[in-house]
Amino acid sequence: IGAYGSGAVLSYLYSKVSGVSYKWLAKSTGWRGHSTYTDWDIKQGSTVTVGGITFDSDTGKSYGGFQVF
């Protein structure tokens, strides 16, 4: 199970909810715990546009999202 939210929310869910394995830190820098939370698997980045396609420039650690066969 993955969770998305502020650092405070992710910290709480990961420690209290059985099954939460992956943490996606929201871009909202004003949310509580954003600047101090380091245990994220994905960190939402700024919105960018490349070649007419708009997307978030997220940073990912090894969270199992893609596997090479």
In a domain, 65, yes or no: no
In a domain, 36, yes or no: yes
Q: What does the block give as tokens for 53?
A: 């396609």
Full-model pTM: 0.81
In a domain, 20, yes or no: yes
More confident residue, 52 or 66: 52
Q: How many domains does the chain have?
A: 1
Structural domain span for residue 24: 2-60
The amino acid at residue 35 is S
In a domain, 69, yes or no: no
Alpha-carbon gap, residue 14 to 9, rounded angstroms: 8
Burial class of 15 by CB neighbour count within 10 A (0 to 12, 13 to 18, 19+): exposed
Quote the percentage of the chain above a pLDDT of 90: 84
Whether the pLDDT of residue 48 is over 70: the answer is: yes
